Amino acid sequence: MCTAIRTPTWVSKRRFFEQTLSDLHKCSNLNHLKQIQAQIFKANLHQDPFVAPKLIQAFSLCRQMTLAVNVFSQIQEPNVHLYNTLMKAYAQNSQHSQAFSTFFEMQKNDLYPDNYTYPILLKACSGQFVLRQVQMIHTHIEKFGFYSDIYVPNSLIDTYSRCGKTGIDSAKKLFDSMTERDVVSWNSMIGGLVKLGELGQARKLFDEMPERDTVSWNTVLDGYVKAGEVNSAFELFQKMPERNVVSWSTMVSGYSKAGDMDMAKLLFDKMPVKNLVPWTIMISGYAEKGLAKEAFTLYDQMEKAGLQPDDGTFISILAACAESGLLSLGKRIHFKIERSKLRCSVKVCNALLDMYAKCGNLDKALTVFDGMVERDVVSWNSMLQGLALHGHGEKALDLFSRMIGEGVEPDGVTFVSVLCSCSHAGLLDEGRHYFSIIEKDYGIVPQVEHYGCMVDLLGRSGHLKEAFELIKSMPMEPNAIIWGTLLGACRLHNDVELAEDVVSRLVKLDTKDAGTYAILSNIYSAAGEWDNVSKVRLQMKSTSIQKPPGASSIELEDEVHEFTVADRSHPQSSRIYHMIDRLRQHLEQVGYVPRAHY
């Protein structure tokens, strides 16, 4: 009779135990997770060596590290597995220093790492001292003899590969010393070389592989595409024994980025299986080229195929619209987002805001901005940048004051927009003030972009000597953009002497930039120094420097039309030039005289 009573009790506990582990594995709702935790405490399972790690991992996935640590602290004698679980949780939540602190605490408690400890710790390596951290872990691995588990040296190779040139050299040395390698070892080494842009070495290693999997092929394929070597990528693609959706998507992306939308569409249509990624690549590619009709037709086809766009899709398409100035498609995507009745995430709202701001629809951008339930610094920066670029300097500074008033911490990008606002609005005193407080009040070290904005502001205001002195005082080497900005100011104020000095410095940085000579030619022209104009033109001819034609674009009927100087490629070019001639006649009648430029 006693046995009959005990058996159901044991069975019910066992079932509860198994059900708890199952629930923890799939739980992602914090409230539900807390309910499960309460049941675990009630059943006195919170110190169980199988349950506690699952509970820590579940809280980690919900980004509740305080609760995860509380679970850990309940265990009187945590074992290595529990320490590993906590380290992994810290690494997953980007709390890398805490992961290392846990590792050191484990050693203080006389617990030795196992073969799972170091790969977890390697994932926590980050920051400017990442290489030192990896080298320290490498020393520990050698000391405790964990090379026999191939998972450990593979993790080392992968992490070393993220540490730049010095790291890849260490990875290669380790790889060469390995007596046993698997396909992961080869893939990690090849992947590291590809990331560093060492495609030649990566391909050589790929060709030497005793066996390859799809990851091997896709890694090299991706390397070729990112390097812009689409023909080499396609040659490799054709040789692949097996292709998955990643292989096809990589090739579609490659041709899209290369501007060959016909080839991209051909490959896209041939894909045996499509997920959201290739659809997003194609739609964004069309949008980036200003082909709104093609982009939206494909978007409709995607929805008809039963694929619902996610945040990544919306963000990619909106970013492409912002790049090309394709406002009509951006508006339609906004309508789709609103119609989906899903809560607009901060990232999607930021993409919408950025699209409207860059396309010049500031009223709509402000509407999106003001309607955001939650904003981050990117939201404020996008709105500030939009106001700055379109000449609303004072409104931008008002918004910046509001940002500070709401307790939002500005970053370096914020001050680029603030200084740009001052430059475009001619607010010299305000610009000087904000530049002086960047580091003093906010601890942000001014970068070359901040100096560039100040040079532009001082140059536009006619303070060319002050701008020149500021450039000379820069803690970093001024680039061609900085000197080019000052040269533009010299042209604006006809300062021939300073322009000649600036040009001599620019030539040392980039002798093939025809714009530099063109501006100098225009400065000489404005000053009436025709001999010098001739000298500059002869210099350009003798060095085979040609100024690329400028381009303008305009959106009309869901399509962006681009034009260059003397362009006859547009199907309606005859009508366009007829209208330009009529406009020229009207301008001449009211006394307009065109300004001579090179």
Answer yes or no: is 61 within a domain: no
Answer yes or no: is 243 within a domain: no
Least confident range from 320-324, 414-418, 511-515: namely 511-515
Q: Calculate the alpha carbon distances from 310 to 316, 451, 477 in Å.
A: 10, 39, 43
pLDDT over 80 at 574, yes or no: no
Answer yes or no: is 352 within a domain: yes
Q: What is the pLDDT of residue 1?
A: 35
Determine phi and psi for 562, rounding to 5 degrees: -110, 140
The 3-class SS string of 538-574 reads: HHHHHCCCCCCCCEEEEECCCEEEEEECCCCCCCCHH
User: Which residue would you say has higher pLDDT here, 467 or 342?
Assistant: 467
Report the alpha-carbon distance of residue 553 to residue 567 in Å, rounded: 12
Q: Which residues pair with 552 in a beta bridge?
A: 563
Cβ 481 vs Cβ 452: under 8 Å:
yes
Q: What value does the mean pLDDT take over residues 310-330?
A: 89
Cβ 499 vs Cβ 459: under 8 Å:
no
pLDDT tens-digit readout, 364-378: 999 999 999 899 999
Q: What is the pLDDT of residue 218?
A: 96
Where do we find the tokens 């249509």? 269
Q: What is the pLDDT of residue 10?
A: 40
Report the alpha-carbon distance of residue 175 to residue 153 in Å, rounded: 8
| Mean of all residue pLDDT scores within the chain | 85
Q: What is the pLDDT of residue 166?
A: 87
Q: What is the pLDDT of residue 6?
A: 38
Closest CA to 171 of 184, 195, 188, 194: 188
Cβ 214 vs Cβ 242: under 8 Å:
yes
The 3-class SS string of 36-102 reads: HHHHHHHCCCCCCCCHHHHHHHHHHHCCCHHHHHHHHHCCCCCCHHHHHHHHHHHHHCCCHHHHHHH
Q: What is the pLDDT of residue 11?
A: 43
- Domain endpoint, select from 337, 354, 371: 371
Question: Which amino acid is located at 328 in the chain?
Answer: S
Report the alpha-carbon distance of residue 106 to residue 120 in Å, rounded: 14
Q: What is the pLDDT of residue 598?
A: 45
Answer yes or no: is 358 within a domain: yes
Q: What value does the mean pLDDT take over residues 171-189?
A: 93
| Residue 21's pLDDT band (cuts 50, 70, 90) | low
Report the alpha-carbon distance of residue 90 to residue 108 in Å, rounded: 19
Q: How many domains does the chain have?
A: 2
Cβ 505 vs Cβ 474: under 8 Å:
no
Cβ 154 vs Cβ 147: under 8 Å:
no
User: If you ran DSSP here, which 8-state letter would residue 184 be given?
Assistant: H
CATH number, domain of 286, equals 1.25.40.10
Q: What is the pLDDT of residue 16?
A: 55
Burial of residue 241, with CB atoms counted within 10 A of its CB: 0-12 exposed, 13-18 middle, 19 or more buried: exposed
Most confident of 64-78, 253-267, 531-545: 253-267
User: Which residue would you say has higher pLDDT here, 164 or 243?
Assistant: 243
User: Which residue would you say has higher pLDDT here, 331 or 598?
Assistant: 331
The 3-class SS string of 104-138 reads: HHHHHCCCCCCCCHHHHHHHCCCCCCHHHHHHHHH
- Domain endpoint, select from 371, 396, 416: 371
Least confident range from 14-28, 73-87, 366-380, 382-396: namely 14-28
The pTM score is 0.71
- Domain endpoint, select from 324, 346, 371: 371
Least confident range from 23-37, 145-159, 208-222, 547-561: namely 547-561
Cβ 330 vs Cβ 367: under 8 Å:
no
Percent of the chain with pLDDT over 70: 83
pLDDT over 50 at 9, yes or no: no
| Residue 481's pLDDT band (cuts 50, 70, 90) | confident
User: Which residue would you say has higher pLDDT here, 17 or 114?
Assistant: 114
Q: What is the pLDDT of residue 561?
A: 63
Q: What is the pLDDT of residue 281?
A: 95
| Residue 296's pLDDT band (cuts 50, 70, 90) | confident
Answer yes or no: is 559 within a domain: yes
User: Among positive and negative, which fits the CA dihedral 432, 433, 435, 439?
Assistant: positive
Q: What value does the mean pLDDT take over residues 252-269?
A: 95
Q: What is the pLDDT of residue 2?
A: 35
Report the alpha-carbon distance of residue 55 to residue 49 in Å, rounded: 11
User: If you ran DSSP here, which 8-state letter would residue 377 be given?
Assistant: H
Least confident range from 82-86, 308-312, 341-345: namely 341-345
Give me the domain span that covers residue 559: 552-590
Q: What value does the mean pLDDT take over residues 376-396?
A: 93
Answer yes or no: is 393 within a domain: no
Question: Which residues, 6+ apart, have CB-to-CB distance to 146 below 8 Å?
Answer: 113, 115, 118, 152
Answer yes or no: is 341 within a domain: yes
pLDDT over 90 at 420, yes or no: yes
Cβ 233 vs Cβ 250: under 8 Å:
yes
Q: Calculate the alpha carbon distances from 116 to 88, 407, 464, 483 in Å.
A: 10, 42, 62, 54
pLDDT over 70 at 490, yes or no: yes
pLDDT tens-digit readout, 89-132: 999 998 999 999 999 999 999 998 998 999 999 998 887 778 89
C-alpha dihedral, 527 to 533 to 534 to 536, nearest 10°: 150
Cβ 452 vs Cβ 420: under 8 Å:
no
Q: Which residues pair with 562 in a beta bridge?
A: 553
Answer yes or no: is 64 within a domain: no
Closest CA to 377 of 344, 340, 350, 343: 350
Burial of residue 217, with CB atoms counted within 10 A of its CB: 0-12 exposed, 13-18 middle, 19 or more buried: buried
Q: What value does the mean pLDDT take over residues 556-565?
A: 60
Residues recorded for the chain: 598
pLDDT over 90 at 233, yes or no: yes
341: phi > 0 → left, psi -120 to 50 → alpha, else beta; which? left
